Structure 1
Amino acid sequence: MPTLRKVLLVTAAVATLTVAGASSAAADSSRCTVDSACAGRATFTSLGEVFHVFDQVADGHSAVALYWLPDGSGPTMIWNSNGNGSDVTADLELPEGSWITYRVCLGEGGPKQVMLETCSAPITDYA
């Protein structure tokens, strides 16, 4: 029969692992353009600092993620001009624990003109 001390130690260890796992997973995020169809979507995965920019509607527009870094740089843009159903991946190199703020918009891929009225609210995530 396990002692009370062993049960408490195992419970504490499981709780610690659960909180540690949740904190790293909670850092992953996603944003959609303001239209009801979510024509453009961007996701950020903290582990590896990876962006995906999805074009999800055949509307003739590109999806574009704009991001800012703690050093004051930005907006840097990641364009997906490949059409409906496509995904563009950008692998960033950020120091662990640093923040990144981004939003996703639609744009005109040829002239690289962002349609600001389509942009999502900004979100801040962490590497």
Structure 2
Amino acid sequence: MIKKAALTVGASLALAMAGAAFAAPAAYADSSASTTGARATFTSHGEIFRLYDTACDGNPVYLVYKINGGSENRHDFSGGCDKSAEYNKSYAEGARVEYKACVNIKPGVDRCSGWSTDTA
């Protein structure tokens, strides 16, 4: 009886460890950039930007990014307070990704985070 219980526990442990080894990793942001009212994240697996409007101030937000030091690109989002947008891109593995989150303040001077750097 004791041998059978030990075998069952051992087999269960082996199956659990094997399942953990092959489980798909959860998607998460590798890096982020934020300022009051806006936040951007980048997930290198899948090259996904997410842009969040974090203030209920009526100002839209935007993402500025460049790849391998190239020209700046911009995505605007005016979905509203506590909403977000996702931008699924495709870059070569190892590409340098620089980005920042900004608030479009009208009238006024836009507010941006500092640049954040990651790798695709």
5+ residue gaps, structure 2: 1-24
Which among 84, 94, 114 is matched to residue 121 of structure 1?
114
Partners of 2:69 and 2:96 within 8 A in 1:
no
Give the total of aligned pairs: 94
Q: How far apart, in 2, do the equivalents of 1:115 and 1:77 lie?
A: 17
Query: Letter of the aligned partner of 2:113 in structure 1?
Result: S
Which among 71, 74, 77 is matched to residue 77 of structure 1?
74
Query: Letter of the aligned partner of 2:42 in structure 1?
Result: F
5+ residue gaps, structure 1: 1-20
Give 1:62's aligned residue.
60
Give 1:12's aligned residue.
none
Q: How far apart, in 2, do the equivalents of 1:63 and 1:114 lie?
A: 14
Give 1:47's aligned residue.
45
Give 1:8's aligned residue.
none
Runs of 4+ in 1 over 2 A off after TM superposition: 113-116
> Post-superposition shift, 1:56?
1.2
Partners of 2:47 and 2:91 within 8 A in 1:
yes
Query: Letter of the aligned partner of 1:82 in structure 2?
Result: G
> Measured at CA, do residues 114 and 96 of structure 1 come closer, stay the same or move farther in structure 2, by a change above 3 Å?
farther
Calculate percent identity across the aligned residue pairs.
Answer: 33
1:95 pairs with 2:92 = yes
Higher-Rg structure is: 2
Deviations 1:34-61 (CA, angstroms, capped at 9, x unpaired): xxxx310000000000000000111011
Partners of 1:40 and 1:57 within 8 A in 2:
yes
What is the root-mean-square deviation in Å for CA atoms of aligned residues?
2.4
| TM-score using structure 1 length | 0.66
